[in-house]
Amino acid sequence: MLSRAHALLSRPVRLVAAGLTAAVALGMLGTAPAAAADSPLEIILRETNDYRAEHGRSAVALNSGVSAVSQAWSEKMLASRTLAHNPSYSTQMPGGWSTAAENVAYACGYGGANANAKRIMHNWRASAGHAENMRGAFSDIGIGIAYDAATDCMYATQNFGAYPASSTRMPTGSASSNTATVTADDGRSAAAVSDSLALRRGNVFYVSDEIKAGPADLAVSYGRASDEVLVGDWDGDGQDSFALRRGRTIYFSNSLTDPNKGTWSVAYGRPSDTILVGDWDGDGKDTLAVRRGRTYFIANAIKAGDADKVVNYGRASDAILVGDWDGDGTDTLAVRRGRTYFIANAIKAGDADKVVNYGRASDATLAGDWDGDGKDTLTVRRGRTYFIANAIKAGDADKVVNFGRAGDTVFAIHVDLD
């Protein structure tokens, strides 16, 4: 249930009114000031609860322990002028919650703190992922607002938690008895973000954090149209980005929005090798495997040198898919032969764990976690139509979508664009 915003939402950069007053961080923790005029915090709390009421949800209560986390994060974003999610909110929040979520945003130049707060609420309501968080089954909210009057820029954070009715709303720092009950190791909530599809047309990549028709959230040019594209989470921050393969050189970037910045390269294998991307050891970082015929050279770090593991697998003529089929956090291989898929949950010679027939031999197939349950499944692509299934089994797709053009190169990708 992390928020999923698109670039339009979170980067409404506007005019800057310079030189008014010194920087001020407005952070009202705990109780809102009584009988005061509207404040940014009151606006966000009231409009969030209005939005919940419109969707039949009971109001969320302002929780000072959660607000302290939201406030510290908003101030950090303002100090660095960087919009990002707090990787640790779920462990910093007072414990005892069953589900947690976070929305972040900034607005600049709308003419004062309250106007910026209203714009942020407007954008959150208009964004599917943020709106979903706001009307989620939560009991408590934390709100953090950091505002710099000199530049008329506001950074805001909402953290939501579903606390049992009997739970004490503990102040910050005294919740050690029951923190982190449901958190994943990367600080994301148990309800993870699902994978999306990205496409490349020429050397332009179009990325959205959900599979949808219409304009992409992000369009960025990178490399040459002739480069082979690899997608992975090279630094383990939970976000996929691209790497380009040209000959035996692979150019990596950790930034989706600015891939030409901070690019590094590694010479790897031979140009005739097939390169696979996966998290083979489950540490959260994707690395590469070189496939040569039916031999796979698996490495758990991106560097030249020896592989960590070498296995023979299937036949040289097999197609191969990479995925975490059983949701244990480790990627393994599936062999595809025509329309038959041999799924294995360990990288070793021997029998597959599961064999299924699926689609047609002529289909293109993508592996990804389309419903965010941690398990990768298959999507069959026919032209520009995608048949998305959330279980690996014969039978109907769970969802059918048209996306891009038949000639596009399409990848599964895991991103949370803000």
165-184 positions binding Ca ion, by CB under 5 A: none
| Nearest residue (CB) to Ca ion, 235 versus 363 | 235
* Contact flag: residue 398 with Ca ion (CB under 5 A): no
Q: Which stretch binds Ca ion (CB under 5 A): 172-180, 283-291, 302-310, 399-407?
A: 283-291
What the block records as the tokens of 68 is 């302290």
Contact pattern for Ca ion over residues 332 through 371, marking x by CB under 5 A: -------------------------------------x-x
Q: Taking CB under 5 A as the rule, which mask of x and - marks residues 214-233 in contact with Ca ion?
A: -------------------x
Whole-number Cα distances in Å, 229 to 177, 278, 377: 46, 14, 21
Q: Which stretch binds Ca ion (CB under 5 A): 124-132, 172-180, 329-337, 391-399?
A: 329-337
d(CA 22, CA 283): 44
Distance (Å) of CA 18 to CA 38, 108, 119, 149, 235: 24, 11, 20, 9, 37
Contact 12, 95 (CB under 8 A): no
**Phi and psi at residue 77, to the nearest 5°:** -65, -40
Member of 255, 295, 330, 409 binding Ca ion (CB under 5 A)? 330
| Residue 228 or 326 having the CB closest to Ca ion | 326
Binding-site member from 132, 186, 235, 318 for Ca ion (CB under 5 A): 235
CB of 207 to Ca ion, least distance (A): 13
User: What is the smallest separation between the CB atom of 374 and Ca ion, expressed in angstroms?
Assistant: 7
Beta strands in 132-227 (DSSP E): 140-148, 153-161, 196-201, 204-207, 218-221
Stretch of 73-81, 110-118, 277-285, 289-297 lying at the interface with Ca ion (CB under 5 A): 277-285
What's the chain's Rg over C-alpha atoms?
23
Which of 328, 346, 364, 391 is close enough to bind Ca ion by CB under 5 A? 328
Interface pick for Ca ion out of 227, 273, 279, 418 (rule CB under 5 A): 279
In this complex, which beta carbon is closest to Ca ion, that of residue 200 or of residue 414? 414
For Ca ion, the closer of residues 201 and 285 by Cβ is 285
# binding residues, Ca ion (CB under 5 A): 16
Is residue 281 within 8 Å of 300, Cβ to Cβ? yes
Q: Which amino acid, residue 378?
A: L
* Total number of residues shown for the chain: 418
> Which of 132, 210, 353, 373 touches Ca ion (CB under 5 A)?
373
Q: Beta strand pairing status for 364-368 and 377-382?
A: antiparallel
CA-to-CA dists, residue 305 to 63, 269, 300, angstroms: 52, 9, 11
Residue with tokens 């979170």: 10
Please give the residue ranges that form the binding site for Ca ion (CB under 5 A): 233, 235, 237, 239, 279, 281, 283, 285, 324, 326, 328, 330, 369, 371, 373, 375
